Amino acid sequence: MSEKLAARVRAWIDDDPCSESRAELEALLAAQDWAELSERFAGPLAFGTAGLRGVIGAGETRMNRAVVIRTSYGLGKALLARDPGYAERGVAIGFDGRRGSLEFSADTAGVLLALGIRVYLSEGTCPTPLLAYAVTKLEAAAGVMVTASHNPPEYNGYKVYAPNGAQIVPPWDGEIAAQIADAPGAKDIARADLQEAVTAGRLTYLGAQMDQDYLGAIGELNRIEAADPEGTQREGLKVVYTPMHGVGRDLIVKAFAQAGFKGLSVVPEQAEPDGEFPTVRFPNPEEPGAMDLSLAQAEREGANLIVANDPDADRLACIVRAADGTFRPLTGNQIGVLLGTYLLERESLLGLDAPADADKRMVAASIVSSPQLGAAAEAMGVYYEETLTGFKWIANQALAAEAERGVNFVFGYEEALGYTVGSVVRDKDGVSAAVILCELVAFLANRGQNLLDRLEELARRTGVYLSGQRSTVFPGQEGAQTMAAIMEQIRTSPPSEVAGQAVTAFTDIQAGERRPTGGEPEPIRLPKSNVLVFDFAGGDRIIARPSGTEPKIKFYFDVCEPVAEGEAVSAAEARASERMGRLQESFSALAAPQS
| 329 backbone dihedrals φ, ψ, rounded to 5° | -70, 140
Distance (Å, whole) CA 540 – CA 504:
10
User: Are residue 315 and residue 362 in the same domain, yes or no?
Assistant: no
252 and 135 housed in the same domain: no
Among 414, 441, 462, give the residue marking a domain's end.
Answer: 462
Q: Among 157-166, 347-356, 507-516, which stretch is predicted with the lowest mean pLDDT?
A: 347-356
| H-helix or E-strand spanning residue 410 | strand 408-414
Q: Is residue 104 part of a domain?
A: yes
Domain that holds residue 345: 333-462
* CA atoms of 258 and 498, how far apart (whole Å): 51
Last residue of a domain, one of 329, 353, 371: 329
Residue 175 CA to residue 188 CA, distance in Å, equals 21
Contacts of 73 (CB under 8 A, 6+ apart): 111, 115, 179, 180, 183, 184, 189
Do 403 and 443 lie in a common domain? yes
Q: What is the domain-level CATH number for residue 139?
A: 3.40.120.10
Mean pLDDT value across residues 548-557:
84
**Omega cis (within 30) before 495:** no
Looking at residue 354, what is its pLDDT? 86
Predicted confidence (pLDDT) per residue in 116-137, tens digit: 999 999 999 999 999 999 999 9
Distance between CA atoms of residues 373 and 291, nearest Å: 27
Cβ contacts of residue 49 below 8 Å, gap of 6+? 167, 168, 169, 170, 172, 173, 390, 392, 548
The answer to whether 271 and 294 are in contact (CB under 8 A) is no
Q: Which of 52, 147, 146, 141 is nearest to 105 (CA)?
A: 146
Number of H helices, E strands in the chain: 21, 23
- Pairing status of strand 305-309 against strand 238-242: parallel
Read off the pLDDT of residues 444-480 as tens digits, 9 standing for 90 and up: 999 999 999 999 999 999 999 999 999 888 877 777 8
Same domain, 276 and 299: yes
Place 181 in a pLDDT band, splitting at 50, 70 and 90. very high
Residue 400 half-sphere exposure toward CB, CA atoms < 13 A: 10
Q: Which residues are catalytic?
A: 149
Q: Is residue 372 part of a domain?
A: yes
Amino acid at site 124: G
- Residue-level pLDDT at 214: 98
Q: Are residues 256 and 164 part of one domain?
A: no
> Which pLDDT band holds residue 594 (cuts at 50, 70, 90)?
low
CA distances (Å), origin 97, targets 125, 128, 133, 154, 528: 6, 11, 19, 13, 34
Do residues 397 and 385 make contact, with C-beta atoms less than 8 angstroms apart? yes
Q: Which residues pair with 498 in a beta bridge?
A: 501
In a domain, residue 595? The reply is: no
- What does pLDDT average to over the chain? 95
Closest CA to 158 of 111, 194, 108: 108
Q: Alpha-carbon distance 334 to 430, whole Å?
A: 15
- 95 touches 102 (CB < 8 A): yes
Residue 591's pLDDT is 77
Give the neighbor-by-neighbor strand order of the sheet with 418-421: 383-387, 361-366, 408-414, 418-421
Q: In Å, how far are 47, 118, 324 from 173, measured between CA atoms?
A: 7, 21, 50
Domain count, the chain: 4
DSSP 68-85: HHHHHHHHHHHHHHH-TT
Residue 250 carries which side chain, given as an amino acid letter? D
Residue 194 has a CB neighbour count (10 Å cut-off) of 17
pLDDT of residue 506: 97
- Nearest to 516, CA basis, from 502, 504, 524: 504
- 473 domain residue, yes or no: yes
Burial category of 550 from C-beta neighbours within 10 Å (exposed 0-12, middle 13-18, buried 19 and up): middle
pLDDT tens track for 221-236 = 999 999 999 999 999 9
Mean pLDDT value across residues 242-247: 98
Nearest-angstrom CA–CA distance, 213 and 203 = 20
Residue 271 lies in a domain: yes
Is the domain of 561 the same as that of 475? yes
454 dihedral zone (left: phi>0; alpha: psi -120 to 50; beta): alpha
What is the pTM (predicted TM-score) of this model? 0.94
Euclidean distance between CA atoms 53 and 422, whole angstroms: 28
Give mean pLDDT, residues 208-217. Answer: 98
d(CA 541, CA 537): 9
- Final residue of a structural domain among 306, 329, 352: 329
pLDDT in tens, 195-204: 999 999 999 9
Categorise residue 267: left if φ over 0, alpha if ψ from -120 to 50, beta otherwise: beta
What is the pLDDT, as a whole number, of residue 595? 57
Closest CA to 117 of 16, 204, 51, 209: 204
Q: How confident is the model at residue 549 (pLDDT cuts 50, 70, 90)?
A: low
What's the order of all strands across the beta sheet hosting 238-242?
263-266, 238-242, 305-309, 316-321, 327-329
Average pLDDT on 533-538 reads 94
Cβ contacts of 164 within 8 Å, gap of 6 or more: 136, 396, 399, 426
Q: Are residues 428 and 361 in the same domain?
A: yes
Q: Are residues 163 and 312 in the same domain?
A: no
Query: Taking the mean position of all CA atoms in its chain, how far away is CA 564?
Result: 36
* Closest C-alpha among 450, 434, 432 to residue 442: 450
Do residues 13 and 66 both lie within one domain?
A: yes
* Helix extents (H) in 83-207: 86-89, 101-114, 128-138, 172-181, 194-199
**How far is Cα 462 from Cα 144, in angstroms, rounded to an integer?**
40
The angle at the Cα of 15, spanning 11 to 18, to the nearest 5 degrees, equals 125
* Dihedral pair phi/psi, residue 558, rounded to 5°: -130, 130
Q: Is 202 in the same domain as 253?
A: no
pLDDT of 508: 96
Same domain, 83 and 150: yes
Residue 532 lies in a domain: yes
Strand partners, 557: 468, 542
**Do 574 and 492 belong to one domain?**
yes
Is position 412 within any domain? yes
CA distance 317 to 231: 25
Query: 373-424 pLDDT, tens per residue?
Result: 999 999 999 999 999 988 999 999 999 999 999 999 999 999 999 999 999 9
Q: What is the CATH number of the domain that holds 480?
A: 3.30.310
Residue 1, pLDDT > 80, answer no
